[in-house]
Structure 1
Amino acid sequence: MVDCEKFDTAVQCDIQFNKPTFFSLIDIKHDSRAVHYYTGFNDYSHFKLFFKCLGRAASNLVYHCASLDPEEELFLTVMKLRQAKDNREISILFKICESSVSTIVNTWINFLYFQLRELNIWPSKKAIQQHIPTQFKKDFVSTRIILDATEIAIDKPSNVDAQSITFSSYKNKNTLKVMVGISPNGLVTYVSDAYGGSASDRQIMEKSDLYLNGKYLFNSGDSIMADRGILVQDLFSSLDVKVNTPTMLKGKHQLEAVDVVKDRRIASKRIHVERVIGLAKTYKILKQPFTPSLTPLGGRIIFVCFMLTNFRIGIVEKWMLK
């Protein structure tokens, strides 16, 4: 048996001294699987590249936690988005109080939102044409954006008016709703403001930059691809922009053969926006209801998660775009 009283306390203290005082990105920097698990980035160098893309401002935020450097604060925030960890658990991992976790997350979400909005994510028509997948070039060469709506659950608000505004009859729960758009090769090029789940697709589009500033974004002859529920053809017709959606039956028992073929072609291309939405929701914070403390930041959290997908090495597998 080991005599505990004679155990070398000096060695014991030395071991404790060499251990990190909190969970750190440095601990896993050589483990690419761990980095990907906690952040969504392929490895540490990929994460570091994103941090550098944020510029000097990332190291000069008004709020700064004395025990964490800016890179660790970003790591903490992205971990929150990626794994949806409770603030209490994060505070234990990073050896800081819960209020500090909340402040760091709020500060960085706001910072990331404004920094990433500065990126010009709307490609020119020339850029779209240079990178358009073969099948789009064959069937829908004029496509500028593929649109779809998505909803994120929130906890039921205590305010009755807020309950009504955010209740989604489609999801049968309270949600925030956004319109998402991607280019034909899978780049997220548009994320609308967040609206209560009661808002229709058309209402969101009527208030969107795509419509209000459409004449600056689209060229004559461009086209939009969307689900059949996004009925906005009349909004864009004055811009000479066509909206390609699956054919509505309109009282018919079945579609004409030519319409069936066209709808299948649209569906095979439009599914890419659903795949990108699925990629964004690998940030698990979007997979569980926003708490009352997160809901006010909900629109910005959604935007940041979708923009982070643009920093992946490959957004959509090449075979999907053929």
Structure 2
Amino acid sequence: MDFDVERTGHDYCSVPEASAVDMVLHENEELTREIEDLRKQLDQTKITLRFGLQRFAGSDEDIRFYTRFATYNHLMAFWELIEPAMHRMIRVTNSKVTKEAGNTRALPAIDEFFLFMMHLALGLKQKDLGHRFHVHQATVSRIITTWANFLYFVLGSVCIWMPKERVRAHLPEEFHLFRDTQVILDCTEIRCQTPSSLLLQSEVFSNYKSHCTFKALIGMAPHGAITFVSGLYAGSISDRELFKQSGIINLLTPGMAIMVDKGFLIDSLVPCKIHRPVFLTKEKQMLPHEVTHTQSVARLRVHVERLIRRVKEHKLFDAVIPLSISGSINQLFTVACLLVNYQCGPLVKAWSH
């Protein structure tokens, strides 16, 4: 049966005009773009709300504050160095150790590293870090211990002691009077909680600091890189005995010289020359050349003190170290020392050339 189109008012066989089709397609494209924009905004909001490294990737100032790395690019360059070794990471879980597995992380690996660096750089408590990263305090503790051990062995496997030829090649002009200097040495101490045992108190009490401390020996090449870090010892140990036990004597040869403070009475222990300030006694006054020598050594030794200050800019060492983390403090301190070679620029700007 035929129907009159004019009578029914609609032609079911007609094709919509091209302009109407284009309008629908245009609206679909706009909706698609809007959905994509909303997804990007949602992803950005998630990043902003989630406390992790990516949240601060655009601010080098924040990266320096939270990690002590100079820039985000510096941090990521370091990450690229250690990431290939992560398959060998041994994780601490519930007071046990297990080899790295696929889905054992509460946080992405990069954020675990960020959490560890915040603990080291800012000295934030585990409970605070747990609230920031939305994980349990026990999980924070395991992450810190895992990364302290991992970085201790990864960075410790890199030989930081330099052959004397390389030291000479990078020798700053300021050392022209001491061109044979291989390393500048100094001791440093970090305060620790007073043990309840009187015997332990006597071992870790430092007369110099009038507090219980751990003590370490740090060596710096003349151009400003850390080239030696000893383990931590009880604060009562003398500089001479710490030098003797640290193992650095085995690295020294007759063609080298070391630069130390006048408190290092180690002449009989080393096979090499020693540059140190001249002792001032009551019986005699310094000769003019002795005054000049002492001033020259003091001007150069100050750089190792500045380097140690960089290590202690990791705020974890500002507070008294609780005995509860004494099992990992050696790893934490060594990692902080070794990280200085990656985090910062040269001690003296002119030495970068």
| TM-score (norm. length: structure 2) | 0.81
Q: Which segments of 5 or more consecutive residues in structure 2 lack a partner in the other structure?
A: 1-37, 92-99
Name 2:203's counterpart in structure 1.
165
Name 1:222's counterpart in structure 2.
256
1:19 CA displacement: 3.0
| 1:93 equivalenced with 2:97 (yes/no) | no
Identity of aligned residues (%): 31
1:86 CA displacement: 0.7
1:245 CA displacement: 1.0
1:270 CA displacement: 0.6
| 1:74 equivalenced with 2:113 (yes/no) | yes
**Secondary structure at 1:145's aligned position in 2?**
strand
Structure 1 letter corresponding to 2:50: F
* Mapping for residues 36-185 of structure 1, pairs under 5 Å: 36-63=64-91, 66-136=105-175, 138-185=176-223
1:48 CA displacement: 1.4
**Secondary structure at 2:139's aligned position in 1?**
helix
- Cα gap change, 1:58/1:268 in structure 2, threshold over 3 Å: closer, same or farther? same
Find the aligned partners of 1:206 and 1:42 in 2 and give their Cα distance.
35
| 1:19 equivalenced with 2:46 (yes/no) | yes
- Cα gap change, 1:298/1:45 in structure 2, threshold over 3 Å: closer, same or farther? same
Find the aligned partners of 2:307 and 2:134 in 1 and give their Cα distance.
35
Cα displacement string for residues 87-136 of structure 1 (whole angstroms, at most 9, x for unaligned residues) = 11000000000101001001110111111111111111111111100021
Find the aligned partners of 2:243 and 2:325 in 1 and give their Cα distance.
25
Find the aligned partners of 1:108 and 1:160 in 2 and give their Cα distance.
33
Find the aligned partners of 1:16 and 1:34 in 2 and give their Cα distance.
21
1:296 CA displacement: 2.3
| 1:192 equivalenced with 2:230 (yes/no) | yes
1:15 CA displacement: 7.2
**Secondary structure at 1:103's aligned position in 2?**
helix
Higher-Rg member (1/2): 2
Q: Which segments of 5 or more consecutive residues in structure 1 lack a partner in the other structure?
A: 1-10
CA RMSD of aligned residues (A): 2.1
Find the aligned partners of 2:44 and 2:70 in 1 and give their Cα distance.
31
**Secondary structure at 2:227's aligned position in 1?**
strand
| 1:208 equivalenced with 2:242 (yes/no) | no
Find the aligned partners of 2:61 and 2:50 in 1 and give their Cα distance.
20
Find the aligned partners of 2:184 and 2:349 in 1 and give their Cα distance.
17
| Count of matched residue pairs | 302
1:292 CA displacement: 1.8
Contact 1:88/1:98 (8 A) holds in 2: yes
